Amino acid sequence: MSITHLPLIVHQMLFEAEATTPIEFGVQAGAQLRGALWEALREIVICNDSHAREPDHIRFCPRCRLILMESQESSRGVNPPRPFAIRPPLNFDAQNRIRIKTGEMLRFGINLYGDAEQLFPYVCQAVYKIGQIGVGYGRGTFVLRTAQALNPFTGKSQSVYADGKLRGLPGVPITHEAIVQTVQGWPNDQITLDWRTPCELTDQGRPASIPYLYIVMGRLIERCQMLELHYTPNPTETAQWRELHLHLQERAKAVELTDNATRWVHVMSGSRRSNSMKPISGLIGKARYRGDLSELRYWLAWGSVLHIGKNVVKGNGWYEISQMED
């Protein structure tokens, strides 16, 4: 195959904050955090929305680059993938709520794609601002204590915010080289994908109720292609991505889904701006696969930090990888 790697850079951020009033999230915690991030960016970044579709404006406006960016050059429409994904807290109680008492710690992540690490000071300032304006039901408040850059493939970490001060830009990026080195130690014939947040996979335009690996690979390669197109300097031609897409889907069709412990969860996300509710539902849980994964595991490793499916900016499509137990 002509495409052998993804030349993308990902910065994985973990924020830790101390609640100053009780904070409560619903099952759509990622959507609530994304909405709060939008609101905070509106307060800290002055932006003339009438110029939001102008390329020169988008290039230099951090709010537009993170949230509003649009491109007429996108092969799939005017809305390219955003350069970030929320990683919400997951410590739900029996009522599918996350309740953080005053004095307890709130932890959540944001993955930044491409050169978005240059926007980290704005992201960090926005998270700090969220703590002041409040988030979740009842607008619970917090004080940002620390932020770390993490690389789950190398195990490296870096303090980028502490004691009320920025310590630097993220400097432990997730790259092709780190992923190649990691997957060399993985088995070639078995893998488990554990969806931590709802993932809506589509097959022939319809939501898939079973996460067959060929469906996962199809949506994953589409995600990789769009991120490479918009967030790398020399994107690959569409025809080569199409060739890879078809090839890997065929390889994935030969991989057996041996244990499907996923379930569909129905989640609605409210928007204050549009005063409407939208579904952000999808599959969560574990799916175990067995077969020849020699050409697939590299891309599946990327998917664990890129998220796949719809509503990624709201935290959806996040899965983790583990080896299948015998």
What is the predicted pLDDT for the residue at 65? 76
What is the predicted pLDDT for the residue at 323? 56
- Same domain for 151 and 237? no
Last residue of a domain, one of 166, 185, 213: 166
Please indicate, yes or no, if residue 16 is contained in any of the structural domains. Answer: yes
- Same domain for 26 and 154? yes
The CATH number of whichever domain residue 102 belongs to comes to 3.30.70.1890
Q: Structurally, how many domains does the chain consist of?
A: 2
Q: What is the C-alpha to C-alpha distance for residues 27 and 259, in angstroms, rounded to an integer?
A: 25
Please indicate, yes or no, if residue 282 is contained in any of the structural domains. Answer: yes
Q: What pTM value is reported for the model?
A: 0.92
pLDDT 10s digits, 215-264: 999 999 999 999 999 999 999 999 999 999 999 999 999 999 999 999 99
- Same domain for 44 and 97? yes
What is the predicted pLDDT for the residue at 273? 61
What is the predicted pLDDT for the residue at 61? 77
What is the predicted pLDDT for the residue at 22? 98
- Same domain for 216 and 157? no
Please indicate, yes or no, if residue 209 is contained in any of the structural domains. Answer: yes
- Same domain for 180 and 221? yes
- Same domain for 255 and 133? no
Last residue of a domain, one of 145, 166, 187: 166
- Same domain for 118 and 222? no
Please indicate, yes or no, if residue 204 is contained in any of the structural domains. Answer: yes
> Which residues in the chain show pLDDT less than 70?
1, 49-59, 68-79, 271-275, 323-326
- Same domain for 276 and 255? yes
Of 89, 84, 118, residue with least CA distance to 25: 89
The CATH number of whichever domain residue 229 belongs to comes to 3.30.70.1900
What is the predicted pLDDT for the residue at 19? 98
- Same domain for 26 and 73? yes
Please indicate, yes or no, if residue 19 is contained in any of the structural domains. Answer: yes
- Same domain for 156 and 201? no
- Same domain for 206 and 161? no
- Residue whose token pair is 């995600």: 223
- Same domain for 83 and 34? yes
Please indicate, yes or no, if residue 1 is contained in any of the structural domains. Answer: no
Q: What is the C-alpha to C-alpha distance for residues 102 and 121, in angstroms, rounded to an integer?
A: 27
Please indicate, yes or no, if residue 171 is contained in any of the structural domains. Answer: no
Last residue of a domain, one of 166, 199, 221: 166
Q: Which domain holds residue 83?
A: 10-166
Q: What is the C-alpha to C-alpha distance for residues 89 and 186, in angstroms, rounded to an integer?
A: 27
Please indicate, yes or no, if residue 4 is contained in any of the structural domains. Answer: no
